[in-house]
Each structure stands twice: as C-alpha cells, then as structure tokens.
Amino acid sequence: MKYQPVIGLEVHVQLKTDTKIFCGCSTQFGAEPNSQTCPVCLGLPGALPVLNKKVVEFAIKAGLSTNCSITPRSIFARKNYFYPDLPKGYQISQFEDPICQRGWLDIPVEGQENKRIGITRIHMEEDAGKLVHGELSGPGDGSGVDLNRACTPLLEVVSEPDLRSSDEAVIYLKQLHQIVTWLGICDGNMEEGSFRCDANVSVMPVGSDTLGTRAEIKNVNSFKFVKQAIEYEIQRQIDLIEDGGTIVQETRLFDPNSGTTRSMRSKEEAHDYRYFPDPDLVPLVISNEWVERSRQKLPELPGQRQQRFIDDLGLPRYDAEVLTASRALADYFEAGVAAGGNAKAVGNWIMGEITRALNDRGTSIETCPVTPVQLAQLLKLIDTGTISGKIAKTVFDEMWQSGKAPQTIVEEQGLLQVSDISAIESIINDIMAANAGQVEEYRGGKEKVFGFFVGQVMKASKGKANPTVVNELLLNKLKG
Ligand SMILES: [Zn+2]
C-alpha cells in the first residue's frame, strides 16, 4: 500500500525583547543562573504579571506578515501542569481567542508555483525555566533549576496539517524563520533555542480522507534535524502499520545522534491542562487603529522584495532569492545598485567574491569592510575598461584589507588595464618569436594552441592587458 504523510508544525519563536513578557527582568542569554529573576518570574505568591507591550507589537507584526487576522479581544489562559522548571504550576499562554488567527504562507513546491500552507493560529506565551544537571547545578551531583528563561516571551505559530513531506516542512519552516528574523522580532538562533519546532506527523493510505493517528515530535532545533525526524517518523509509522500494529497518539523525542525518535509520554489532550482565563490579566483589546498603524510600519517582506528585484531590476529568480536571504544582504545589494552599479553585476559580486570572503573569515554582511558604494566604484572601473575583471579581484582583496577606494588602489599599484595596441603588439611579437614551434602548430590547424598564447600574453602583462584587444591582435598575427 502507498501512504501519504500528513504534517503540521508548531513553531516556538522566542521574541527579541529586552525584557520578559510579564516582568521587567532581562532576557539576555547565558547569564549566571537565576540572576535575571524577580518575584513574578520566580512564581512567588501574590506577585502580579504585567503584560509587555512590545510583545503584543511583535505578535501583531508576525500575524500581519503571515496573513493572519488580528483578534480584537484576545485573552490569556493558564495552562496547568507540573514540572520543576515551572514554579507557578501553570504557564501563562493563550487558548481560546489567541492574538492571531487564520493566516497562511505560500511556499514554492516542486512541480507547482506555490502551495498555500494554512496557519491556524499564533499565540503569545511565556517560556518555562530549565533544569541544569551536573556542575552548574550547585554543590553535589543533583540537578538545579535556572529560572532566567522563565517568563521569556514566545510566539507559538501553529500550522494546519497541510504539509505532505519533510521537504515541504523544511521549506515552510525556513520561510517562517526568514520572516521573523527579517522583522527583527527573533534572532533566529536555533542552537540557543530561539526558534524551535514540534512536528505532528501521521500517515494515511493514499486516497483516504481520514487522518491517521499522529505522533508529536518535540523540540527539534535545526532544519536538518526536522527533516531527519519527520522522515524517520513517517517510515516508523508505515512499518508499524504494515506489521499489523497500531499507531498510538504520543509525544516522541528526536535523538540527533541516532537520527531516530523514541516515545516520551502518551500525548496529552487540551483538557488535561485545564485551561482557564488568567484572572490576573485583563483581556487584551487591540483597536483597528493599532493594527493599521502596525501594518503601515511593516517593512517590505522578503517575498515582495524578491518580486521587485525580478520585476524592476531584471534579476533572475535564483539571484533574487539568494540576495534576499537576509534583510541586511538585500539592503547591501540595493545600496550597491543605488550607487550606480549594474544590478546583475552587483548581484554576481555579492554572491561570488563577497560571500566567499565573508565565509572565509566567518563573518556576515553587516560587518563587510567593503561598502556597497566602493563595490559600485569597482564595477565602474571594469565597465569603463580601466581595469580587467581579473585585476578587479586583486583590487577587491586590497579594498577588503585596507578599506581604500578602488581608484586609489589602481593608481597606487599601477594596475591600469593596458589597451594600447602597440604595447600589446610588442609583447605578442616577443612571445611568438620565443615559441615558434607553437606558432607552426597553430598555423597547421591546431587551434587549441590559441589559448596558450592568450595565457602567455596575459602573464607577460601581469594580467593588465585588455583581453579583448589581446584576442583580436593575436588572431590577426597568428594567421600570419
Ligand atoms: Zn522577572
């Protein structure tokens, strides 16, 4: 039998606010355990939560960027469960009436232009603390609780079960990741857990319209692991069904070392949490004006910018996608074009030399020592024939090192391209005289030798001879 996987993702997006969602403590990562806490996030009796307005603003931005409706009156609920990293015995979340509802993202899928993935809801919630084991936990061998992370603001973005393969899941996840980092509401750091995802996976016979029982895989924190975890889980469920077994609804953990998932606990239902409206927090009322103000302030989103690069600047789709990988990269590109660079050439240099140089040095476009204006100046020197494309790479390296303008480097180092016919002719004469054998071969029909002569002339001119002139003159002279 053939099976159809059905996948939905719940993504936790940690918001990049300076302070926590219900108190004024810092959200900085990596501080001394329990140094960023107060009565509210420690869950001390009587301490009252106060909602951080920034969190609401970020949630609205996320909602509008994913085509959601913003709920005019949303409420916070208590999600009750026990765990040592949750001193209150409940997590403040949203259950009924979350802040954003009924959105979607269009993802590119093989064989079709776009596929629409529904977003059921986005809600705000607080993170729990975390358990630390071993050394950091204090004296003895026990475990400790670090509540620095408690009360850190999260958005949970819940998709419809519209994804049909691990590849689609990863494309969707990458798009969501791009949007929240682009908006500047999340740092996107998956290793530190700022962007992590739970995957609901089930399989059903192809052609069936009854969803299979699903398993939820918890806290997968890299794109690669998401793909691995989903693929393993799909195969595990198919094998189990084929062997006559039954899928049980459960929560499973992914083990990156073995690439497998294992059962953690039977899956709880919503009613197990005994959600009820938090009596310490009033309903959140968001006016139409507030939503419209936020909409006005939204930046041009990656998808829109890609389309503009294609329509207005004539870039191929591939280039437009690469150049909008981050907002900083897209800004750099546009600044280069604004400074007079040809769009395709600026794009090529960013995707080629600049990316290579950034990767070699393990740095990012934000700290690129060559400014977009300098890059445009360099391209102009190539366009006007002042330097060759090959020399331009030498000049670029020097710009990177010294920060000097390309024109200055060309003048200081005498790198001007030689287009003077008599100067190039004299080099060609010398080379032909020194390689009479090859001249004979060429004239005897071995045209491949031509490349050898071009190489020799360029070498003799230290790369400065104008390649077009060299080609023309060589052709003439070799014909004899
Ligand atoms: Zn606090």
- Highest mean pLDDT among 133-147, 232-246, 461-475 belongs to 232-246
Cα–ligand 1 centroid distance for 28 (angstroms): 12
Cα–ligand 1 centroid distance for 282 (angstroms): 19
Cα–ligand 1 centroid distance for 49 (angstroms): 9
Find the mean pLDDT for residues 218-246: 93
pLDDT for the residue 389 = 84
Cα–ligand 1 centroid distance for 41 (angstroms): 4
pLDDT at position 288 over 70: yes
Confidence band of 467 (pLDDT split at 50, 70, 90): confident
pLDDT at position 137 over 60: no
More confident residue, 219 or 77: 77
Which of 185-199, 333-347, 456-470 has the lowest average pLDDT?
456-470
pLDDT at position 109 over 90: no
pLDDT for the residue 263 = 87
pLDDT for the residue 460 = 85
Cα–ligand 1 centroid distance for 306 (angstroms): 41
pLDDT for the residue 391 = 85
Cα–ligand 1 centroid distance for 43 (angstroms): 9
Cα–ligand 1 centroid distance for 25 (angstroms): 4
Q: Identify the CATH assignment for 421-479 out of 1.10.260.40, 1.20.1250.20, 1.10.10.410, 3.40.50.1820.
A: 1.10.10.410
Interval 11-42: pLDDT, tens: 999 999 999 999 999 999 889 999 999 999 99
pLDDT for the residue 424 = 86
Mapped to the 3 state alphabet, what secondary structure does the chain carry?
A: CCEEEEEEEEEEEECCCCECCCCCCECCCCCCCCCCCCHHHHCCCCCCCCCCHHHHHHHHHHHHHCCCEECCEECCEEEECCCCCCCCCEEEECCCCCCEEEEEEEEEECCEEEEEEEEEEEEEEECCCEEEEHHHHCCCCCEEEECCCCCCEEEEEEECCCECCHHHHHHHHHHHHHHHHHCCCCCCCCCCCCEEEEEEEEEEECCCCCCCCCEEEEEECCHHHHHHHHHHHHHHHHHHHHCCCCCCCEEEEEECCCCEEEEEEECCCHHHHCCEECCCCCCEECCHHHHHHHHHHCCCCHHHHHHHHHHHHCCCHHHHHHHCCCHHHHHHHHHHHHCCCCHHHHHHHHHHHHHHHHHHCCCCHHHCCCCHHHHHHHHHHHHCCCCCHHHHHHHHHHHHHHCCCHHHHHHHHCCCCECCHHHHHHHHHHHHHHCHHHHHHHHCCCCCHHHHHHHHHHHHCCCCECHHHHHHHHHHHHHC
Find the mean pLDDT for residues 254-277: 85
pLDDT for the residue 132 = 86
pLDDT for the residue 26 = 97
Residues of the chain with CATH 1.10.10.410: 421-479
Confidence band of 139 (pLDDT split at 50, 70, 90): low
More confident residue, 288 or 420: 288
